[in-house]
């Protein structure tokens, strides 16, 4: 019999904070990124988002762009060290619901997978912390000299995540109709569509719009919103977006 699995996005689905933002802060602390980069390139986008006047994706993209520039020609062990420190210090800041679902899946004997757009160094540390079986993240390629060479294999978009999920299902003999997926943004849409039991965790407005436009997914998706110490299960058929 084929296996059942649970595929988890990490940022915003398990972790309550974007791990790439924590990575960025640590890289400033260790002087891999200059303070001026934060103030000139990132802070304006962050301030707008923080005031709910701007787009979080724009703020995130600014950080990703600078991260990509910075790691080029950086020795990989520096980034691995910082990733380890980020998870040691921030790895417990997760949603209660997601943490409990990971435990539930493990208790059921399901394989637990991570598919995340965060750098694979972060994804590896987070996966190890929560005892996940396999993981895939964005790969910043390392050259023969042990330094990042500037080439990137992304894992933040929906198509990349779909491909990763199908590869993992094939490699580990997984029955997707009996499997679960958890995500929060439009990048996770393909994962939700690919399984029998999709869960949208604190979904963005864009993800909700995609779900509502897909009747097959709308009929089976579970919408979970966690705020403070309360978890809500919402019905999209009766939900009015303001």
Indicate whether 166 belongs to any domain: yes
Do residues 226 and 232 make contact, with C-beta atoms less than 8 angstroms apart? yes
| pLDDT tens sequence across 68-101 | 777 888 888 888 999 999 999 999 999 999 999 9
Q: How many domains does the chain have?
A: 1
Indicate whether 108 belongs to any domain: yes
Length of the chain: 242
Indicate whether 241 belongs to any domain: no
Indicate whether 177 belongs to any domain: yes
- CATH number of residue 23's parent domain: 3.40.50.1000
Query: What range does the domain containing 44 cover?
Result: 5-234
For residue 188, pLDDT over 70 is answered with yes
| pLDDT tens sequence across 92-148 | 999 999 999 999 999 999 999 999 988 999 999 999 999 999 999 999 999 999 888
Indicate whether 34 belongs to any domain: yes
pTM (2 decimals)? 0.89
């Amino acid at each position: 019999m084929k296996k059942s699995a649970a595929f988890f996005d990490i940022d915003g689905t398990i972790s309550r904070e974007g791990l790439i933002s924590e990575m960025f802060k640590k890289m400033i602390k260790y002087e891999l990124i200059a303070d001026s980069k934060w103030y000139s390139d990132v802070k304006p986008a962050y301030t707008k988002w923080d005031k709910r006047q701007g787009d979080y994706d724009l703020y995130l993209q600014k950080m990703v762009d600078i991260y990509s520039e910075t790691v080029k020609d950086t020795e990989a062990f520096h980034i691995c060290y910082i990733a380890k420190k980020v998870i040691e210090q921030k790895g417990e800041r997760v949603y209660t619901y997601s943490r409990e679902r990971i435990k539930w899946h493990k208790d059921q004997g399901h394989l637990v997978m991570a598919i995340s757009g965060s750098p694979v160094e972060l994804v590896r540390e987070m996966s190890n912390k929560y005892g996940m079986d396999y993981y895939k993240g964005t790969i910043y390629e390392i050259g023969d000299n042990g330094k990042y060479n500037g080439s990137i294999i992304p894992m933040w978009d929906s198509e990349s995540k779909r491909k990763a999920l199908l590869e993992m299902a094939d490699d580990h003999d997984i029955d997707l109709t009996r499997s679960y997926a958890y995500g929060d943004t439009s990048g996770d849409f393909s994962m939700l569509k690919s399984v029998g039991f999709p869960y949208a965790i604190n979904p963005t407005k864009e993800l909700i719009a995609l779900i509502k436009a897909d009747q097959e997914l709308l009929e089976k998706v579970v919408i979970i919103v966690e705020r403070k110490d309360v978890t809500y299960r919402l019905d999209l058929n009766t939900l009015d977006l303001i």
